[in-house]
Amino acid sequence: MRIATEVTASSTIMEPSHRESSLTDYAWQRDLTADGSIALASLRQLQRDLLVPWNESVGADVERFWQGVACDGLQVTRKDVVVETLKRGRILNMQHYSALEERYEELQECEKLSPAQADELGRMFDAFENNPKNKACFY
């Protein structure tokens, strides 16, 4: 939770209202777990809830969060939208398309994407946009 709070507080990407809302949620979760009276199942659910935005988003803040998790040696599994999309060779859904497209340049700047990967992702954007099932979202 400390890592999420630090990354969120220093984020230059998040909208101020989203940043404040997230920080409030983290403080609430920290207070809820502080006295040790929460059941293990509830604690696991809180952990899943905390990780949702870090697993479903992309960008420099997300990379900083996961670097902090790794540096602290936390046993948390990452769902990496960028890596999974590149492995799969296609964009899975509109949520992933939006996240990747919004942070496309940022992913290149923070070196999450190599030039070749950026080109491949660009082709995936085109394929997703031109898929007849998705056309209504773009035109």
Over residues 116-138, the pLDDT tens digits come to: 999 999 999 999 999 999 988 88
Tokens of 50: 């905390």
Please state the domain extents for the chain.
2-71, 81-138
Residue partners of 1: CB distance under 8 A and separation at least 6: 26, 29, 30, 50
Per residue in 65-110, pLDDT tens? 888 888 888 888 888 999 999 999 999 999 999 999 999 999 999 8
**Spatial distance between the Cα atoms of 103 and 78, rounded to a whole number of angstroms:** 18
